[in-house]
Amino acid sequence: MTGRLDGKVALITGAASGIGLGTLERFVAEGARVVAADVQDDKGVQLQARFPDKVVYVRCDVTLETDIAAAVAKATDAFGGLDVLFNNAGHGGTPGGVTDMTAEGFDAAFSLLVRGPMLGMKHAVPPMQARGGGAIINTASIAGLQAGYGPLAYSTAKAAVIHLSRCAAAELAPQRIRVNAICPGLIATSIFGASMGMAREVADQFAARVQEIAPKFQPIPKAGMPADIAGAATFLASDDGAFVTGTHIVVDGGITIGPRSAWDVDAPSPLLEALGITREQAEQMRQMALAQGR
């Protein structure tokens, strides 16, 4: 189905790569016009050339409020208004835990991942009010729901994004501006390489390596791809999501269902191991219980 975003204008941060790029492609296919905001100018300019009249690129470092304000203004200048904001730009953030965290590193993660979306909303609200409403989507992460999926600063920032979305939704609902978060699981993008300090081109190639290993990472045995997140973003941006606000949608192929042993018969079960029972013994006991009608 196409045309779900006919007539809508969207601003996507982090639009030059990965989830932002996949969502831009989907939004355009659904009829939207898009301001693509990023710091990768070469890719942004290519995007604009690829989608003439549909996409405008603007250099926007989301850690700078002036850049964010200019990106929002670009939506009105180029396309006459703003209906959808996808606060998506991101990076794995500062590595390290409690004992080796630097104040600067922690601030940098929050500046990019939390303050950026906050300021994006601040500047997007007036043009959305002028249109009578809008949809804001913030990219959080399963790392914001459970420990162990990212470094401390990143994970804490992503948890903040989920709650930021709720608080903003409460404030903005009377103005018919909906705010929701998406929590991706493992999605094959450049973020892993970029966060390990690889040059962008190398990080882009590394995304293909992530795609190879990704099918084994979660219950649904396929690699999570930017298009999977774009589907959820399209739902939230479109009128299909008209009654959805203040929540988060987990798009993770089921990885947060439970421990690996819940869905992978080859994975060791911590409970059985602690009890000293092998998988085979457990299966024999299960068969006996079934045969006895228990």
Ligand X SMILES: NC(=O)c1ccc[n+]([C@@H]2O[C@H](COP(=O)([O-])OP(=O)(O)OC[C@H]3O[C@@H](n4cnc5c(N)ncnc54)[C@H](O)[C@@H]3O)[C@@H](O)[C@H]2O)c1
Catalytic residues: 141, 154, 158
Which amino acid is located at 95 in the chain?
P
Q: How far apart are CA 205 and CA 189, in angstroms?
A: 9
Q: According to the binding rule CB under 6 A, does residue 144 interact with ligand X?
A: no
Distance of closest approach, residue 25 Cβ to ligand X, in angstroms: 13
Could you say which residues in the range 61-80 bind ligand X, by CB under 6 A? 61-63
- 139 vs 269, beta carbon nearer ligand X: 139
Distance of closest approach, residue 40 Cβ to ligand X, in angstroms: 5
- State the DSSP string of 38-80: ES-HHHHHHHHHHSTTTEEEEE--TT-HHHHHHHHHHHHHHHS
Confirm if 238 and 5 have CB atoms less than 8 A apart: yes
- 139 vs 245, beta carbon nearer ligand X: 139
Q: Per CB under 6 A, which region of 37-45, 74-82, 120-128, 253-261 contacts ligand X?
A: 37-45
Q: According to the binding rule CB under 6 A, does residue 13 interact with ligand X?
A: yes
Q: Per CB under 6 A, which region of 36-44, 70-78, 102-110, 237-245 contacts ligand X?
A: 36-44
Please choose, from the candidates 154, 46, 10, the residue with its C-alpha nearest in 3D space to the C-alpha of residue 94.
154
Given its phi and psi angles, is residue 268 left (phi above 0), alpha (psi -120 to 50 degrees) or beta? beta
Distance of closest approach, residue 270 Cβ to ligand X, in angstroms: 25
Applying CB under 6 A, which of residues 155, 156, 180, 190 lies at the interface with ligand X? 190
Q: Per CB under 6 A, which region of 17-25, 128-136, 169-177, 261-269 contacts ligand X?
A: 17-25
Applying CB under 6 A, which of residues 10, 35, 112, 125 lies at the interface with ligand X? 112
Q: Which H or E run includes 134?
A: strand 134-139
Q: How far apart are CA 61 and CA 164, in angstroms?
A: 20
Distance of closest approach, residue 115 Cβ to ligand X, in angstroms: 11
Q: How far apart are CA 75 and CA 68, in angstroms?
A: 11
Confirm if 84 and 127 have CB atoms less than 8 A apart: no
Q: According to the binding rule CB under 6 A, does residue 163 interact with ligand X?
A: no
The residues of the shown chain that bind ligand X, judged by CB under 6 A, are: 13-14, 16-20, 38-40, 60-63, 88-91, 112, 139, 141, 184, 186-187, 189-191, 194
